[in-house]
Amino acid sequence: MFKSPALGEGMSATLLIVYHSQSGSCASLAGAVYRGAREDANVQTVLRRAVDASIADLESASAMALVAAENAGHLSGGAKAFLDRVFYPAIARDLLIPYALLISAGNDGSGAVRDASRMLSGIPMSAATEPMICKGEVTGLHLEQAADLGRALAAGIDMGIF
Ligand SMILES: Cc1cc2nc3c(=O)[nH]c(=O)nc-3n(C[C@H](O)[C@H](O)[C@H](O)COP(=O)(O)O)c2cc1C
């Protein structure tokens, strides 16, 4: 792939993957996104737990993937806390970077998509892809789809689309 023409001098092409996981499901999906994205040598890929992710991580990212679960019909608390923390700082910095949502859910996921989309659109960040919802136990197919998401996001950054 080629170097993004959209990047200025000194800026890096970086995909930020932020995840919150209790049982390990979202962690394994985030890891698959990471592995897929890492295939593109022109793009730096940063994997952060939501509790550790900062506005500085977001500031240096060309795009973000948020991987989180649905809990009680809403975005999981750890992911919500991350968005709460960066919301005003991101607005202040005009961080209009594109994002992708990957939701792990027992049987629904729509509430988590609604919550995350609503908060991110308020910054306002734009959705780079349709939200991906993985229902039930994480399967090999889910992991492959997550890796494909990572590849697609990295390719978009590399080509200067994001
Ligand atoms: C407290 C709790 C509430 C949950 N609520 C929902 C829910 O409302 N809808 C749903 O589809 N799955 C629900 N689930 C299932 C989780 O979304 C699912 O197990 C997911 O894979 C958890 O990922 P994580 O452990 O990596 O955070 C819930 C799980 C827990 C522990």
pLDDT in tens, 69-125: 999 999 999 999 999 999 999 999 999 999 999 999 999 999 999 999 999 999 999
Atom of ligand 1 nearest to the CA of 78: 27
Show the domains of the chain with their CATH numbers: 14-158 (3.40.50.360)
Asked if residue 98 lies in contact with residue 125, where contact means CB atoms within 8 angstroms, the answer is yes
Task: Give the tens place of pLDDT for each residue, 44-53.
Answer: 999 999 999 9
Cα–Cα distance measured from residue 40 to residue 34, given in angstroms and rounded to the nearest whole number: 11
Cα–Cα distance measured from residue 110 to residue 132, given in angstroms and rounded to the nearest whole number: 10
Once rounded to an integer, what is the mean pLDDT over residues 4-23?
A: 75
Residue located nearest, by CA, to atom 31 of ligand 1 = 71
Q: Which of 70, 80, 108 for mutating ligand 1's site (highest number of atoms within 8 Å of CB)?
A: 70
Q: Which residues pair with 135 in a beta bridge?
A: 105
Spell out where the chain has E strands: 14-19, 44-49, 63-71, 74-75, 99-105, 132-135
Residues with CB under 6 A from ligand 1: 21-26, 69-73, 76, 104-109
Task: Give the tens place of pLDDT for each residue, 126-158.
Answer: 999 999 999 999 999 999 999 999 999 999 999
